[in-house]
Amino acid sequence: MVDGDKADDLLMTSTFDPREIEASIKTLSSKIEDLTTCNTLIVNHGTQLQRSLAELDQIQSAEEATSKMKAINEQTTLFRITVSAMINACKDHLDFVTSQHQIYGGRFSQAAQLSGTQARSLVKSPDTESNNHQIPRSTASSSDEEDVFEDAADQFTVVVSSNIGSDINVSSNNHLKLPSQDKSQGSETPNDYINHMSNESTKHAKRVRRRTIPERPKYGLTNLWGLLKNCVGKDLTKIPMPVMLNEPLSFLQRFSEDFEYSYCLDNAAKCDQWEQMCWVAVFAISSYCYTSTRKSCKPFNPLLGETFEFDRRDDLGWRICSEQVSHHPPTCASHVTGNAGWAIDQETTLTSKFRGKYLQIDPISIVHCKFDGSGHHYTWGKVTTTVHNIIVGRLWVDNHGDIDIVNHKTGDKCHLKFSAYSYFSKDIPRKVTGVVTDKQGTARWVLRGTWDSQMEAAKVLGTSQHGSKPVFETGEYKVIWEKKPPPPHLDKCYNMIQLSVEMNEPEDGVAPTDSRHRPDQRLMENTLWDEANKEKLRLEEKQRELRRLREKKAELAAAEGKSFPEYQPAWFKKTKDPITGNLIHMFTHEYWECKDKQDFSRCPDIF
């Protein structure tokens, strides 16, 4: 028996999911903002085009007319792109509203009928009131029943057994707790883990780091089309760009942001092989969580020989050393070690193509993750990142593709699917699903969530077949990773996270090639953009001159029948990957020893 208020709550919870409504409102607001932006651009570009056409009648010389016609052609192209963007935005808005009507139209009708039934029940006699307030059997959920979640895109079905839990402990806030932890240790949530690491490190002299940087100046991008119109189909990593498109960080520093959630690897070091795979998987997913808010600025392309080190063993429990080992193609190598007994090596080559309306970024990368205690060796790759509405409209980012994580010691695998965003899909945006399987292909754990919010994990209790798709019976889903909200005081500081702000803080004792010493990047951080542009041009020309000098020496050596050694990085050496068989750059483990001695004589002069 329920009273009127509880009946209303039942009506809403049985008909609508508040998270779905919130997501729909957010998407609708975004589309309205897109329409507003397109309207503003159409008015501005249309006014400029009309003004140019009016000025064309007053031109006397043919040379001036030719120049004016060229400008009009560019303005016409830009106006056409803007109008096309408005048409697409209108279509997207219509498609979204139509899809929402299909989803919620029937639910609103059902809600109205149930509400009417409840209203009529209020005027009935007290003798029948108790019967009218009974929960309908069809809307009540039994603890013995099973909830079925079907996902056609992922080609499997998950059945959640609400009366059967997995063999993991769960803290009060629904985060996954490791079986090896007893109650005396307390629940180890993401934030709890960071606090725990901080408390454990009080024996070290912990450095007080800066909290913010100067705000980004309000420079308009009115000439963005003029910068990018000749770049369609080209790799933007090879094209010089003004600092107005950058943020005051290098790609070497940006890669280090992947370890914002290093607690996932710390927890993985304590688990059995399948739970360990879950933690490794969510660590791989977490590296994409800030791409949706860090979309309007790109990092500086590192110079050849540029390095970055970040020693956070005293508070975060890890340290990293990275180096730009190749300029064409742009490739960086990095080595990270954690206090908990894990190490990561990766070599990443970035390729990007500007397609006119969007920018597609395809990292070519193999990440190696090793755990000292178990000897487990994992590898995985990266997915594609696409930045939409580069010229007009509201910028938005999508990460899509598949990642296969392999444990080369046990044969276990985890297949992650980053679903591409679609206006016609009923799935939530930015969805990620995954299945952990053993070497026989038997499913052990399943993962679900979004790459910009949180991930949940559930243990597989049984598997059956439903047509061509496997059906997994699982325990209850528990939150295993959750994105930390970005610091509100940094929203005008390139939307950085706190870890990013600390990366470019000047530090004594680092190599002279460290990104912190890069002058154009430092000038930009201090809002001296004109000076930063001049310094950027100087550094790029110096790099080109060094490349021409190496090429000339190679030609002379070839003419004499001698071999000329290729460029050798300072801290990484090209070796054969034992897993893939490819040649990759591996850390020589000499950097930290040289830093202790303050011997950086091998570093090139790049700044």
Instruction: Report if residue 538 sits inside a domain.
Output: no
Same domain, 337 and 278: yes
Same domain, 472 and 506: yes
Q: In this predicted structure, which of 152-166, 170-184, 499-513 has the lowest mean pLDDT?
A: 170-184
**Contact present, 519 and 539 (Cβ < 8 Å):** yes
Instruction: Report if residue 594 sits inside a domain.
Output: no
Same domain, 103 and 208: no
Out of 73-87, 239-253, 337-351, give the one with best mean pLDDT.
Answer: 337-351
Query: Residue 435 contacts by C-beta under 8 Å, 6 or more apart in sequence?
Result: 156, 414, 415, 443, 445, 446, 447, 472
pLDDT of residue 427: 84
Q: What is the pLDDT of residues 243-301, one digit of tens each?
A: 888 999 999 999 999 999 999 999 999 999 999 999 999 999 999 999 988 877 889 99
Same domain, 155 and 123: no
Of 494, 525, 556, the residue at which a domain comes to its end is 525
Q: Look at residues 383, 248, 251 and name the one whose alpha carbon lies nearest to residue 322.
A: 251
| Phi, psi (deg, nearest 5) at residue 593 | -65, -45
CA distances from 578 to 341, 368, 376, 582, 588 (A): 21, 11, 14, 8, 16
Same domain, 96 and 166: no
Q: How far apart are CA 571 and CA 321, in angstroms?
A: 9
Q: In this predicted structure, which of 29-33, 107-111, 199-203, 324-328 has the lowest mean pLDDT?
A: 199-203
Range of the domain at 63: 4-132
Same domain, 175 and 303: yes
**Which token pair is 567?**
């460029």
Average pLDDT over residues 500-529: 96
Give me the CATH number covering residue 234: 2.40.160.120
Same domain, 120 and 177: no
**Which token pair is 28?**
């609708």
Average pLDDT over residues 31-53: 77
Q: In this predicted structure, which of 10-14, 108-112, 211-215, 322-326 has the lowest mean pLDDT?
A: 10-14
Q: In this predicted structure, which of 208-222, 246-260, 312-326, 420-434 has the lowest mean pLDDT?
A: 208-222
Q: In this predicted structure, which of 171-175, 254-258, 509-513 has the lowest mean pLDDT?
A: 171-175
Same domain, 90 and 169: no
Q: Look at residues 415, 454, 442, 452 and name the one whose alpha carbon lies nearest to residue 176.
A: 454
Q: What is the pLDDT of residues 567-605, one digit of tens each?
A: 999 999 999 998 888 899 999 999 999 999 999 999 999
Percent of the chain whose predicted confidence (pLDDT) is above 70: 76
Same domain, 211 and 163: yes
Provide the pairing of β-strand 331-338 with 298-300: unpaired
**Contact present, 180 and 270 (Cβ < 8 Å):** yes
Average pLDDT over residues 344-365: 90
pLDDT of residue 153: 38
Instruction: Classify 434 as helix, strand or coil.
Output: strand
Tell whether the model's pLDDT for residue 179 goes beyond 80: no
Q: How far apart are CA 112 and CA 397, in angstroms?
A: 38
Q: What is the pLDDT of residues 453-475, one digit of tens each?
A: 999 999 999 988 777 788 889 99
Q: How far apart are CA 456 and CA 42, in angstroms?
A: 44
Dump strand ranges (E) for 315-380: 318-326, 331-338, 342-354, 358-371, 377-380
Tell whether the model's pLDDT for residue 131 goes beyond 50: no
Instruction: Report if residue 299 sits inside a domain.
Output: yes
State how many domains the chain has.
2
Q: What is the pLDDT of residues 209-253, one digit of tens each?
A: 999 999 998 876 555 666 666 677 676 666 778 888 899 999 999
Q: How far apart are CA 334 and CA 587, in angstroms?
A: 7
Instruction: Report if residue 563 sits inside a domain.
Output: no
Which helix (H) or strand (E) is 549 found in, with range? helix 529-559
Instruction: Report if residue 449 sits inside a domain.
Output: yes
Of 63, 98, 132, the residue at which a domain comes to its end is 132
**Contact present, 308 and 514 (Cβ < 8 Å):** yes
Could you check whether the bond before residue 569 is cis, i.e. omega within 30 degrees of 0?
A: no
Q: How far apart are CA 45 and CA 43, in angstroms?
A: 6
Same domain, 109 and 224: no
Instruction: Report if residue 28 sits inside a domain.
Output: yes
Tell whether the model's pLDDT for residue 320 goes beyond 70: yes
Same domain, 475 and 430: yes
Q: What band does 17 get if pLDDT is binned at 50, 70 and 90?
A: low
Of 525, 551, 579, the residue at which a domain comes to its end is 525
Of the two residues 167 and 453, the one the predictor is more confident about is 453
Instruction: Report if residue 548 sits inside a domain.
Output: no
Instruction: Report if residue 245 sits inside a domain.
Output: yes
**Which token pair is 309?**
């080190």
Same domain, 171 and 122: no
Other Cβ atoms less than 10 A from the Cβ of 203: the count is: 7
As beta bridge partners, residue 149 has 158
